[in-house]
Amino acid sequence: IALAGAWSDALGKGGLKSGQILLTLGDTEERRRYLNARATISTLLKMKAVPVINENDTVATSEIRYGDNDRLAARVATMMSADLLVLLSDIDGLYTAPPARDPQARFIPVVDRITPEIEAMAGAAASELSRGGMRTKLDAGKIATAAGTAMIITSG
């Protein structure tokens, strides 16, 4: 609730409205629920409201959860036939190694295909508090690009 309120306040300062949507894995995999979620998001967009989408942690169990918002974002982007998915990170994209741990890490500006070598560069999440990290961003990239949605990882 606090996060939705923060988004509402921040967007309101720019004259925008927001609407919170809580989804589970089933909402992107079961046809009826998928269509309902897509219709809800479409309605918000037609109303010029910014959908604030998050995993519904209150009903998602360990067996039926995303566990991170990167893959959820990719599923929503493909659900909405988005041209582009932008994922924000605490670094400006993919590096050959985690830059906080390896000062020799080099920035990879473009990835045409996610290979095992690219996945190896991602490593694990940087903190125990994080459920994502670069690995889940690459997983999201696979989901998005398989459906024809381009993806950018950048800082923000």
Model's pTM, two decimal places?
Answer: 0.84
Token look-up 């999440």 returns: 125
Domain boundary among 65, 93, 113: 65
Question: pLDDT band for position 145 (50/70/90)?
Answer: very high
Domain boundary among 20, 38, 65: 65
pLDDT digits (tens, 9 = 90+) for 38-55: 999 999 999 999 999 988
113 and 86 in one domain? yes
Q: Which domain holds residue 17?
A: 1-65
Residue 100 lies in a domain: yes
pLDDT digits (tens, 9 = 90+) for 94-141: 999 988 889 999 999 999 999 999 999 987 555 544 556 899 999 999
112 and 58 in one domain? no
Token look-up 């582009």 returns: 84
129 and 95 in one domain? yes
Contacts 24+ apart (CB under 8 A), 53-57: 53/20, 53/21, 53/22, 53/23, 54/3, 54/20, 54/21, 54/22, 54/23, 55/22, 55/23, 55/24, 56/22, 56/23, 56/24
134 and 89 in one domain? yes
86 and 59 in one domain? no
Residue 113 lies in a domain: yes
Q: How many domains does one find in the chain? A: 2
pLDDT attached to residue 124 = 58
Residue 73 lies in a domain: no
CB 51 within 8 A of CB 45: yes
Residue 123 lies in a domain: yes
pLDDT digits (tens, 9 = 90+) for 51-72: 999 888 676 555 555 668 899 9
Residue 126 lies in a domain: yes
Residue 105 lies in a domain: yes
Residue 71 lies in a domain: no
